[in-house]
Structure 1
């Protein structure tokens, strides 16, 4: 194959690939080809996306638009795609066009509050009774179960006391964003725990030699206690096997939470 044929094939291949790539279309002259985080807040475009980073609109058909949304989830960038009709895209475009142009001062003000809003949202989403680890600015780590979050104060039940920590004094927070369910091992854990309860009851019966009616009574009690222990064990396994989420902010960012 000579150079001319090579370049011809390369050109045709490149043209084919480009032809298959959807065109990026601007939502509005006020935001350009890419909607950034400040524009999203200012124009109220995707209010339902937490940690919004950017968005681009692609025309994939005659009347179909796909939005590629990049969002930050605990320091990790993720991508979400949405489909919308041409009519919905035009409505969203009009929504942006009728609003004033975003200024540099607007951007700076929004940028200062983005971290604050995200932090508050994340902390308030942590359910009560979840076990978390808080690292204080001083380096001290506090481990305990969440009792409640009120007025930007987190109350934790530690093994020896109840501690209340202002969120602006945190250097980092470790918790489990979601507790996964493992239904495949549920029956196994319940059965093993119930069997363990029966075995303990039998050991007790051998040691005490009670009447026949008490023997069955202790077996029943052992089965019930074993089943209850199985429920607690199953919940503990679900929690332990769930991935941990680490969330940290700089001292400057946390200082903004005092106000």
Structure 2
């Protein structure tokens, strides 16, 4: 189990602002929230960690939802927050709310990857192993455009490449992440559906071009939460906060 010092945590906004914990998706990093925080939500106090195995945080195992939940609970250090979570971050946020209800005031789930099909996760894990790096930055940029970043502002994509790409020993470039952890986390996403406490205010934002939110999860979430659930459907691909920053900020403000 890691201590707070083992996670790189990016902090945005005023110390007295409403507290938001922002959890990125698999293969991502905490600075993906920077533009949303500084340009759209300057009044919010946002904590955005690099999750274990990602960015500049520790890469040590165990690589499981339980470990990542313990990591982010330590980041909050007893302070309750609204938790905004994208993709892989969503099951982490839901488990955090179940295990530490005193820390979670509400959830904003951005295109959550919960209870994903096992064959899909196996395919993605194998593809990750088969293509762990790129010849150069341009090849990485084109890969992003083909995998959910086509509707993101080119300036944000350029910032992503500048922050998240690092050279490897073979003269190629790779994402700043720990490959064994990433492959393990693809498997974690195939675990059974997890749901938040029945009384917890929750917002679901589904990216209608992505096909990530399963009908089973959305139905189970609706049945569990009833009128505690608010649903938004965004006409975008998977990178919700980057593709629709103003709309995402409006959803978060309403949840606050």
Interval containing the TM-score (normalised by the shorter chain): under 0.3
Higher strand share: 1
Larger radius of gyration: 1
Normalized against structure 2, the TM-score is what? 0.21
Compare the two structures and name the one with the higher helix fraction.
1
TM-score normalized with structure 1 length: 0.20
More RCO (CA 8 Å, sep 6+): 2
